[in-house]
């Protein structure tokens, strides 16, 4: 492996989304000191539904680096994409274009793209962009914990991605840098988690609005990822909330291994199927028939380079599929990653952007950069 790849992998050991985007606030304690990194170990399945310990025999791609996983062409494309994305930030720190201007979800995803390159508030070439994005997100946290900008419709998508962003920022920076910002981030993260817990519906899922009325698999994965990130950062997360979410996602799986949108809406589709598999992984489930069948479905209908995957929700699908394959590890990662990398590199524009005409280039560029930078292994959410 090249020396640059080794440095990135070593950095990961130290540092350990968006398809179509109310509880009362509670006082919170000052931010705790960051926990000591835990060693990667193997052992029997843990009872904790958000366990950091994978069962014996399971190996994600976290500590298994492929030969030529990161290529010079990939490095150049990422650098060009990050430079383009940096120019899209608005003066108030937000990101978003077309009908999704000043959007919480896109702002969170764009900042996560910079963080995937190692930049965090106070450190890295895009530290200022992440800081300004964080300020925008923190300025849009309601008293009840909902993270939503004035222009937001169906705010639980944005809330889930914002919770993920807050969890990753806090997990990578707690105890250092601007302690006031760390405290504000901690307070917002706790409130965001409590809102998710209090708005889960009777089926075990979530939908567009912060009320426990109905649910769909797409919004549900956003909340589970946010909860996982918060838990990684040391925030207490309800085990019952995760158990019920897992039960809901399991019920959304079809006999073909794919996942449906809602319990009573039956067709499988590859983007939400990738999200369904990722949900189970992030809930601490690693060896499971539902995961195996989901991976088989994705390989059959959406393998990059084959042209089989429909373009609907294309970047959303790649975002979750690459996570599912990375967490599955082994042959799943070895086959999927090179194909996904080459497919996305071929679609980058001369400007450095990737374009999704239905949502806008800021969103699709953020998503493409998140996919292409997963081998850097910086974000804690991708570790176990």
CA atoms of 142 and 311, how far apart (whole Å) = 35
Task: Write the DSSP string, 308-371.
Answer: -S-STTHHHHHHHHHHHHHHH-HHHHHHHHHHHHHHHHTT--TTS----TTT-HHHHHHHHHHH
Q: pLDDT tens, 251-281?
A: 999 999 999 999 998 899 999 999 999 999 9
Structure tokens at 209: 């609005």
Nearest CA to 147 among 98, 103, 93? 103
Tell me the mean pLDDT in the region 356-384: 93
Tell me the mean pLDDT in the region 277-286: 94
pLDDT value at 49 more than 60? no
**Phi/psi of residue 89, each to 5°?**
-70, 135
Give the end-to-end CA distance of the chain in Å, rounded to a whole number.
Answer: 22
Task: Please report the pLDDT score of residue 243 as a whole number.
Answer: 96
Task: Please report the pLDDT score of residue 384 as a whole number.
Answer: 63
Task: Please report the pLDDT score of residue 220 as a whole number.
Answer: 96
Tell me the mean pLDDT in the region 210-239: 96
Cβ contacts of 93 within 8 Å, gap of 6 or more: 107, 131, 132, 133, 134, 135, 136
Q: Give yes or no for a contact between 257 and 190, defined as CB atoms under 8 angstroms apart.
A: no
Per cent of the chain over pLDDT 70 is 83
Per cent of the chain over pLDDT 90 is 75
CA atoms of 262 and 315, how far apart (whole Å) = 21
pLDDT value at 120 more than 70? yes
Give 87 or 265, the one with higher predicted confidence: 87
Q: Give yes or no for a contact between 304 and 34, defined as CB atoms under 8 angstroms apart.
A: no
pLDDT value at 8 more than 60? no
Task: Please report the pLDDT score of residue 154 as a whole number.
Answer: 85
Give 61 or 53, the one with higher predicted confidence: 61
Task: Please report the pLDDT score of residue 93 as a whole number.
Answer: 98
Q: Which domains does the chain have, with CATH numbers?
A: 14-20+59-64+72-382 (1.50.10.20)
Q: Give yes or no for a contact between 32 and 190, defined as CB atoms under 8 angstroms apart.
A: no
Q: Give yes or no for a contact between 138 and 188, defined as CB atoms under 8 angstroms apart.
A: yes
pLDDT grade, residue 29 (50/70/90)? very low
Cβ contacts of 41 within 8 Å, gap of 6 or more: 53
Task: Please report the pLDDT score of residue 24 as a whole number.
Answer: 32
CA atoms of 182 and 381, how far apart (whole Å) = 19
Identify the DSSP state of 373.
T
3-class DSSP assignment, residue 192: helix
Task: Please report the pLDDT score of residue 127 as a whole number.
Answer: 97
Predicted TM-score (pTM) of this structure: 0.85
Cβ contacts of 322 within 8 Å, gap of 6 or more: 336, 337, 340, 371, 374
Tell me the mean pLDDT in the region 346-357: 96
Nearest CA to 93 among 111, 81, 78? 111
pLDDT grade, residue 324 (50/70/90)? very high
Q: For the chain, what is the mean pLDDT?
A: 86
């Amino acid at each position: 492996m090249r020396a640059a790849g080794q440095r990135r992998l070593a950095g990961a050991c130290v540092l350990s989304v968006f398809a179509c985007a109310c509880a009362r606030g509670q006082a919170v304690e000052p931010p705790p000191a960051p926990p000591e990194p835990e060693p990667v170990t193997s052992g029997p399945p843990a009872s904790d539904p958000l366990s950091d310990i994978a069962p014996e025999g399971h190996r994600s791609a976290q500590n298994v680096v492929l030969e030529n996983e990161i290529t010079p062409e990939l490095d150049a494309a990422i650098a060009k994409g990050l430079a383009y994305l940096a120019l899209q930030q608005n003066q108030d720190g937000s990101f978003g274009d077309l009908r999704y201007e000043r959007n919480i979800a896109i702002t969170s995803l764009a900042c996560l793209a910079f963080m995937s390159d190692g930049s965090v508030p106070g450190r890295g070439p895009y530290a200022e962009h992440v800081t300004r994005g964080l300020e925008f997100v923190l300025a849009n946290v309601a008293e009840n914990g909902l993270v939503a900008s004035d222009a937001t419709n169906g705010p639980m998508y944005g809330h889930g991605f914002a919770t993920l962003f807050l969890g990753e920022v806090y997990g990578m920076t707690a105890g250092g840098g601007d302690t006031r910002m760390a405290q504000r981030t901690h307070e917002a993260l706790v409130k965001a988690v409590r809102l998710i817990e209090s708005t889960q519906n009777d089926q075990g899922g979530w939908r567009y609005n912060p009320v426990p009325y109905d649910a769909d698999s797409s919004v549900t994965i956003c909340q589970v990822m946010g909860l996982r990130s918060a838990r990684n950062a040391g925030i207490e997360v309800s085990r019952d909330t995760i158990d019920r979410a897992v039960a809901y996602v399991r019920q959304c799986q079809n006999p073909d291994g794919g996942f449906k949108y809602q319990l009573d809406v039956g067709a499988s589709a590859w983007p939400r199927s990738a999200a369904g598999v990722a949900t189970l992984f992030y809930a601490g489930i690693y060896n499971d028939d539902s995961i195996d069948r989901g991976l088989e479905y994705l390989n059959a209908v959406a393998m990059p380079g084959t042209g089989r995957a429909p373009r609907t929700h294309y970047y959303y699908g790649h975002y979750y599929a690459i996570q599912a394959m990375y967490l599955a590890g082994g042959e799943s990662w070895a086959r999927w990653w090179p194909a996904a990398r080459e497919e996305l590199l071929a679609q980058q524009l001369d400007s450095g952007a990737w374009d999704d005409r239905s949502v806008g280039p800021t969103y699709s560029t953020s998503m493409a950069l998140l996919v292409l930078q997963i081998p850097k292994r910086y974000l804690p959410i991708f570790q176990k």
